[in-house]
Amino acid sequence: MHCTLYNRWVVERSINGIALISLLSLAFSTSVGAQILPASARMVFNESCVSCHNPDKKKGKLDLESILQAPISEHRETWNDVAWMLREREMPPEESPAAKRPKEAEYDTITKWLEEAMLASPSPLAAAPASMEVHTVVQEYCLSCLLSVPDSR
């Protein structure tokens, strides 16, 4: 496909727009993604989870103690797993003598807060350049226009 001057102009403007979107998503991710657990939730985790999920025991290869003070976005996958376990009432196990199970209201409150915090904080892909989301065919076309070489289709 042959590129016209107009097509080249459109491609160059699109790339400038992609760069701007990338910068805005980076700014958004640093401001919104800094949410940390409220003190009341940290207290529940300390009472119910940290006895097994600490730097020494690391049951299930999970150390909650070290991430309780960190922004949610820094440990998004871990908090997603924790939210699922709490929502399903999987943790702490009922037969665990070391851990006190949270009250139903605590399960619900913490799970809701975690899910909302993860929705508010952008995924790791949000900080990546927006061009990663552009379809491969469009990328090839843009490159062929900018470099003045025929595209591979």
pLDDT of the residue at 108: 94
pLDDT tens readout for residues 85-132: 999 999 998 887 777 899 999 999 999 999 988 888 766 655 555 545
pLDDT tens readout for residues 24-76: 444 444 444 468 889 999 999 999 999 999 999 999 999 999 999 999 888 98
Of 59 and 8, more confident: 59
Of 7 and 38, more confident: 38
Q: Left if phi > 0, otherwise alpha if psi is -120 to 50, otherwise beta: which for 44?
A: alpha
Residue 20 in any domain: the answer is no
Using CA atoms, how far apart are residues 1 and 4, in angstroms rounded to an integer?
Answer: 10
- Per the structure, the count of domains in the chain is 2
Residues 128 and 59 in one domain: no
pLDDT of the residue at 139: 63
Nearest to 86 by CA among 67, 110, 62: 110
Residues 117 and 127 in one domain: no
pTM beyond 0.75, yes or no: no
Residues 53 and 112 in one domain: yes
Domain housing 147:
1-15+26-33+123-153
Residues 73 and 129 in one domain: no
